[in-house]
Amino acid sequence: MQVKGYTGAIYMAFDTLQMAEIASKSNFLDYFKTKTKNKINPARTNEAKPDFFSICVDAACSGNPGIMEYRGVDTHTGKLLFRQGPFPLATNNIGEFLAIVHGLGYLKKTKSGLIVYSDSGTAISWVNRKAIKSKLDKTDENTYVFELVERAVRWLKGNDYPNKVMKWQTKLWGEIPADFGRK
């Protein structure tokens, strides 16, 4: 009733107040286009919505290899939880891996069982294997990045954590909230 008679009205219903609040904090037209363009298959209800009580991580890399940085945000509020970099001569996959492990360490320190979302299947597989498989060569310029990777692998092998690491479904949900927006 609130849009009846208004030419070109754009509106959207939400399943929960939380989803409406997240949409209201973003650019509505971009959000609307993303959500209506990518129809959700009801048969995939387990992927229909992210769990907003979670954290999201992402990395950005200028070049491949190039200057890399990563961060983690609260999925619900978008609040920045951590940010690292820039690091010279690294790859996006390494940044995504470091972001996930940093997120797991952050959640363990805060005694939180939240989910960690990443949009990188490669980085998630590295976390699950507790080892990376990168073609990046170690140089004087990126020694510190390789030290971070070695420390992250040691942390994964030496720590238990209750958190699930899950793939962010970009085609269904739009860009991950931790995205740097540089595409």
One of 3.20.20.140, 3.20.20.150, 3.10.110.10, 3.30.420.10 is the CATH number of 50-173, namely 3.30.420.10
Domain extents in the chain: 1-37, 50-173
pTM of the model: 0.75
Chain segment 109-160, per-residue pLDDT in tens: 999 999 999 999 999 999 999 999 999 999 999 999 999 999 999 999 999 9
Instruction: Return the number of other C-beta atoms located less than 10 Å from residue 47's C-beta.
Output: 15
pLDDT of residue 181: 85
Single out the residue of 67, 58, 65, 113 nearest to residue 86, CA to CA: 67
